[in-house]
Amino acid sequence: INHVISKKCQIRIKDKAEFQDGVVFCHLAEALTGKLCLKFYANPKNKKQRRENLNSAFDLLTKKLPAVDKTLVPELMTGSEEALHTVLWQIFFGEMGSLMGGAFDELSFFETLFAWVKKSLAPYSPQIIVTDLNFTFHNGQAFCALIESHDPYALNVKEKVTNQDAENLATAFRIARKVYAIPMLLFPEDFIKYPKNYDELSIIMYLVMCYCQFQLKD
């Protein structure tokens, strides 16, 4: 979310409560659609203005992403984490699906992405075995191999990959950013710090960006 809205403003979200007044959703809707919200109070003073912010943002969002559930606006205003997680997932899933070239249901979305990753990394078996879209990538080797499989000139796995996970991750993210302009949404130190519970959706979002950029170059 911070990466998307950074194209529109300098706001950086640090807490879930910041979504309640609709300001973040307005920035997000404008960044994703390229259009302006009809009503947007940058500093809402009361409940009515907060509601109008959310309604205006959702009016824009649902035109591009019909699956986003506008009926959750009242729950968002009360600070419901469940409603917030549901809406953010709907936005993420809808946006990633459109980037991948079509309208996917949830199952086919993951199947398409997983099949692409598995096919790309098949030549690296048995050194790299694709079992999922999370732990497969934790040591950085799969990220490096994914880049090499689509552009051998950008990265040579035999030369660059080591037994140091953080080094492999840093190499892959640096080259992906330099060659494909893929933003560094993932950080090597976080993989080391949270080896068993790194955010899988962050990895999936990064892989979708790789998919889109690699397809364009191919």
Express each pLDDT in 69-121 by its tens digit: 999 999 999 999 889 988 988 887 777 766 666 555 666 778 888 999 999 99
**Same structural domain for residues 153 and 111?**
yes
Please check whether residues 110 and 95 belong to one and the same domain.
Answer: no
Residues 114 and 210 in one domain: yes
Given a contact cutoff of 8 angstroms between Cβ atoms, the answer to whether 165 and 188 are in contact is yes
Residue 118 sits in the same domain as residue 207: yes
- Residue 163 and residue 88 share a domain: no
Whether residues 112 and 206 fall in one domain: yes
In whole angstroms, give the CA distance from residue 21 to residue 86.
Answer: 17
Taken in order 59, 65, 70, 71, is the CA torsion positive or negative? Answer: positive
Tell which residue, 46, 48, 57, 62, has the closest CA to residue 23. Answer: 57
* Same-domain status, 95 and 110: no
Render pLDDT for 135-162 as a digit per residue (tens, 0 to 9).
999 999 999 999 999 999 999 999 999 9
Residue 118 shares a structural domain with residue 91: no
- Of 99, 123, 141, which residue constitutes the final position of a domain? 99
Q: Are residues 118 and 208 in the same domain?
A: yes
Q: Give the domain extent around 63.
A: 2-99
What pLDDT, on a 0 to 100 scale, did the predictor assign at position 36? 92
How many angstroms separate the CA atoms of 191 and 129, rounded? 19
CA–CA gap between residue 188 and residue 9 (Å, rounded): 27
Query: Alpha-carbon distance 149 to 160, whole Å?
Result: 14
Q: How far apart are CA 67 and CA 167, in angstroms?
A: 39
Residue 165's identity, in one-letter code, is D
Half-sphere exposure of 146 (CA within 13 A, CB side): 33
| CB 35, CB 23: distance < 8 Å | no
Pair 123, 91 in one domain: no
Could you give the number of structural domains in the chain? 2
- Write the pLDDT tens digit of every residue in 160-189: 999 999 999 999 999 999 999 888 889 999
CB atoms within 10 A of CB 3: 12
Q: What is the pLDDT of residues 28-68, one digit of tens each?
A: 999 889 899 988 999 999 999 999 999 999 999 999 888 89
Last residue of a domain, one of 65, 81, 99: 99
CATH code of residue 12: 1.10.418.10
Q: Which of 70, 99, 128 is the last residue of a domain?
A: 99
CA–CA dist 55, 58 (Å, integer): 5
Q: Structure pTM?
A: 0.67
Across all residues in the chain, what is the average pLDDT?
Answer: 88
Task: Examine the pLDDT at 10 and tell me if it is beyond 80.
Answer: no
